[in-house]
Amino acid sequence: MSVHTPDWVKNAVFYQIFPDRFARSPRTPHMPGLSFKPWGSPPEEQGFQGGDLYGIVDRLDYLQELGVNAIYLNPIFASASNHRYHTFDYMQIDPLLGGNAALRELLDAAHARHMYVVLDGVFNHASRGFWAFHHILECGGNSPYIDWFTVRGWPLRPYEHDADNPHNYDAWWNIPALPKFNIANEGVRQYLLDVARYWIDFGIDGWRLDVPEEIDDADFWRTFRKTVKEGNPDAYIVGEIWHEAREWLRGDRFDAVMNYVFSRLALGFFGAETLRTEYKPGGYTLVTLDARDLAAGVHHMYSIYSWEVAQAQMNLLDSHDTARTLWTVGDDESALRLCTLFQMTMPGAPCVYYGDEIGMTGATDPFSRGAFPWHDTTEWNQDLLDFFRRTIALRNQHAVLRTGAYATIHADKGVFGFMRTLGNQHAVVLFNSTHEPVSVDVALPANGASAAGYQAVWNSGSYAVQGGALNNVRIPARDAVVLLSDASGMSLPG
């Protein structure tokens, strides 16, 4: 099967936003009498801090200055949880976020800036407040919606249950608050497909799909893809799958997955000295890696997918489901910086989790879901923010770093390097994970060796090609050098 993924994704830098904690806008028309927790309250207190979609609109200047051009939103449909993975109504944007009008304004404002917006689709399970499940709670076996869920006994026990009298319906991970849809029911299938198409027609640019493996029905996902792509052939479909996903990425289901494989490789190499290996994001072990381990892992990661898929993978370091990167690497800011520059120079669409760029930190949920400190910029790491802006600008300025072909060219003694090639343009990217400056000789593939020389656009240096190699390339400690053949344009010192 021919595989094609959206071209805009290959050139995107995503920014993931947890809506309740990103920005609160005074323009949101809340009903009187509402009470939110103070902005900046400890995230472990749970509750609602009042971030909303108008708040995102108000901060688009900030995002554009950061350099991102795509936004991935955690769920925004009506829900009784601050993360909104407990959906009440898939056709209604949560009024606390501003309602449907707020999404309309966000989409229009983002699109006017040539930015894209991807929503989170939670289609495996709903909530106890979801209208069809509530109908069953009220009507029992007489509800016409009885087969939309799998009921195991009566009376239902959605709230009052214990070890001797557990909840008696199928629920995600046996969490009573999350009744699982019966995807075999034709009405359920049609409803979810209608939801997918409705918001595509409304103007969203794609779907991030929550726990798609829980819906073990390939025909459903093939129909989902057909439904979405008929509405917008360039819509992005990315699944939350934490491991290799070959069967999902053959062109008939998803365009990409959240590339947690990438994150584990980056963390394992650049954070090797300080990595919290006792922490297992998503249940997966973090392993420290040397340069050759990283090379082997990267080779395998790219060899199992088509190049179309590789360029569209969502290359993240952390998310709402993990600890923040800075915490995971034991507060080693140099490791975060190296991981980020790695993101911005590798194939695939980088995704920045909100606040990482100013040094927000925290262990896994709920600690990684703090409020963005707009109210106190003294909490911002301004040097780190400047670094993020420059690394993103580096990627945005040079197409070869976005869509160029990839080849590993060096992996030895703490130094890892690769070449990207787009037409006649070549980029050589060399990372030094050690604490001392190094000088290395780098043999180039034949196409890269055909260039006369290379000029640094990250850090400094100019190197002539001699005998098919670049000799004595200087790389600062815990840093990188990015060299372009026949480089032109602005130099971006590291």
Q: Kindly list the catalytic residues.
A: 210, 240
The residue with tokens 């109210």 is 375
Task: Give the side-chain half-sphere CA count within 13 A for 274.
Answer: 16
> Residue 300 corresponds to which amino acid?
H
The b-or-e profile of 289-320 (16+ CB within 10 A means b, else e) is bbbebbbebbeebbeebbebbbbbbbbbbbbb
The residue with tokens 């990372």 is 431
Q: What SS3 state is found at 471? A: strand
Q: What SS3 state is found at 42? A: coil
Please give the sequence-ordered ranges of beta strands (E in DSSP) within 307-432, or none if there are none. 314-316, 349-353, 405-412, 415-422, 425-432
Smallest CA-to-CA distance from 210 within 240, 237, 245 is with 240
Residue 272 main-chain phi, psi, to 5 deg:
-55, -40
Burial class (CB in 10 A: 0-12, 13-18, 19+), 488: exposed
For residue 90 the two structure tokens come to 């898939």
* Helix orientation angle between 291-303 and 260-270, rounded to the nearest 10 degrees: 170
**Residues 6+ away with beta carbon under 8 Å from 59:** 22, 23, 374
Cα 362 from Cα 59, distance rounded (Å): 23
Q: Give the CA angle between residues 240, 201, 54 to the nearest 5°.
A: 75
DSSP character string of 346-359: SSSEEEEETTGGGT
Q: What SS3 state is found at 383? A: helix
Cα dihedral sign for 138, 196, 13, 283?
positive
Q: Are 22 and 16 in contact (CB under 8 A)?
A: no
Smallest CA-to-CA distance from 485 within 467, 462, 460 is with 462
**Residues 6+ away with beta carbon under 8 Å from 56:** 17, 19, 22, 23, 71, 73, 106
